[in-house]
Structure formats: C-alpha cells, structure tokens
Amino acid sequence: MAAALLANTLYSLGFVLEKRALTSLPEVSIRQPARLLRLVLGSPLWIGGSLALAAGFAAQLVVYRTLPIAAAQGIFVSGLVLLVLLSARLLGEETSGRERYALGAILLALLMVVLSLREGSDTVSQDAPYQLILLVCVPSLAAGLWLYGSAERRARNRHRRPTTGVEYGVAVGLLYGVSSLAIKGVSSHLTTHGIGGAVLDLLSSPYPYLLLFTGVFGLVMSQAALQRCRASLIVPVCTTVTSLFTAVLGTLSFGEALPDEPLRLALRVAGTALAVAVLLTMPKHDTAPHPSPPAKELASP
C-alpha cells in the first residue's frame, strides 16, 4: 500500500513537471522524434519530471509483486485527485463543470473496483502464457498507434475546434496498458533464484521487448500530446484507459480469478462499465477561450 501511494505521488509530480517544461519549449512533433528528444533532454525541469516517473515505475514493480492487478490499479488511479490539484496549483489549468463530473464518475467507478476486492481471497498470479500476452498486446499496440495517427490528422485541420485530448489519452493509455502488463511480467521474473538465471529467463520472454517498444513510442507520443493538451484532462483519461486495460485484460491473462461473491462481482463489472461509459461521453473539444492572433498591420500605400 505504501509503495502504491508513493508511486501515485511520483507519477503525478512527474507528469506536472514534464507539462510545465513542455510549455516553455518549441512545438514538438512525433514526426521529428530526434528533435523532440533533443529538446526535452535539454530541459532540467523535464529531466526532473522523468526521474520522478522512473522512481514511480520502480515503486510499481514492488506493488505488482504484492497485490493483485485489479487492486493495484484501483489504488494507482486514486492519484488522479492529486494530479488535478497539482495541475490547478502549478499549471493554472481549470476544468469545466462537465469535466469535473466526469472525473468524479471515474473515481467512483474505480472505488467500486476497489470495494470488490477482499484481502486474502484475491490471488496474485506470477506469470502468463507468452502466446496469450502477445495475442492481447499486439492488437492493442496497433489500435493505439492508429488512434493517435487519426487524432493527429484531424488536429492538422485548421478549421477544427481545439481538442481536449481525449483521443490522445486513449491512444497513449493503450500503449501504457501494454507497458503495465509487461511490468507485471517483469516483476514475476524477479522472483527467480540467482541473478544470472533471472536475467536469461527474462530475456527469453516478450516482456523486456514490449517495455522497450512502449517506452520509446509512449515517450514520443505522450510528450507531443501533453504539450498540446491540458495535463488535468489528458493524464486522467490515459490513466483510466491504462487501469481498465490492465485490470480487465491483465486479470484474465495472468489468471487472477474474478470474485465468486455476486455483490463483489457486480461491483467490479459495474465499475468497469461506468468508467468506459464516462470515457465515451467526455467532451472531445476544448471550450476554453484561446487568444486571438494579433491583427496584421496595414501596409502603407
């Protein structure tokens, strides 16, 4: 529990620091990944945010070794409250009434998932068949990349209203969902006796390669999206998709059984359905006022 709360704090702080750093940098694009990396690596504030995220990743490894996947995701998403508070305080971001209701509904949905857990009765699985993991992860990665590309094409339309970033959040959330399953797989291999055997066993699994892929693409995609959209909206959407993906598909892939009691099962299913419904109904366009471009001076005759 302490590790999960620490991961929450580190992740929220890391995203806010990265967003603050990105606002002072020139516009970045996924079409120029080398330039993007050069810009962000030259920002001490961004490096501080990435180090906070890396520390949160280490805390997440500890959590996955001691808690069931669904329980861990429920605790991780509670950090959305801290993220929204930090975004308002440090970034000056404001959420609309509809968005606040949506975030409240998401927290309620994830509370329902947490209430469906019972200590001692939920098993912590250690591994899953590699074929099943790839069957789940490869189509999800393809869907995330396609959705992000579609959002990019629509964003380039000059007459399109500013986006809230929901599409970007869902796309990156799918990649991070795969990354979360890979983290779970890596944590299971850390229990192998002997460092040499553990490393060889890990390298023969798909988990380090999934982590590498999602790490590279997730970094580029998330930074470009985070620069364009409000952190107080895009990060909660991304986190919710990641949590639902991990809690549902991770539980099934790693063989962690669903609750036997009807009430607990209903809470888990209803919580998942509510979170998905909220994501589908969230506003797609940003209603915040944007500054008008300066008027061109009239040329002298």
Sign of the torsion angle spanned by Cα atoms 199, 204, 11, 152: positive
Indicate yes or no: pTM above 0.75: no
How far apart CA 175 and CA 212 sit, in angstroms, is 11
How far apart CA 206 and CA 133 sit, in angstroms, is 8
Torsion, CA 16, CA 272, CA 75, CA 216, rounded to 10: -50
pLDDT digits (tens, 9 = 90+) for 168-185: 889 999 998 898 888 877
How far apart CA 76 and CA 1 sit, in angstroms, is 10
Query: Residue ranges of the chain with pLDDT lower than 70?
Result: 1, 68-78, 80, 95, 99, 114, 117-127, 157-164, 190-194, 196-198, 256-258, 279-280, 282-301
pLDDT of residue 146: 93
pLDDT digits (tens, 9 = 90+) for 65-76: 777 666 666 666
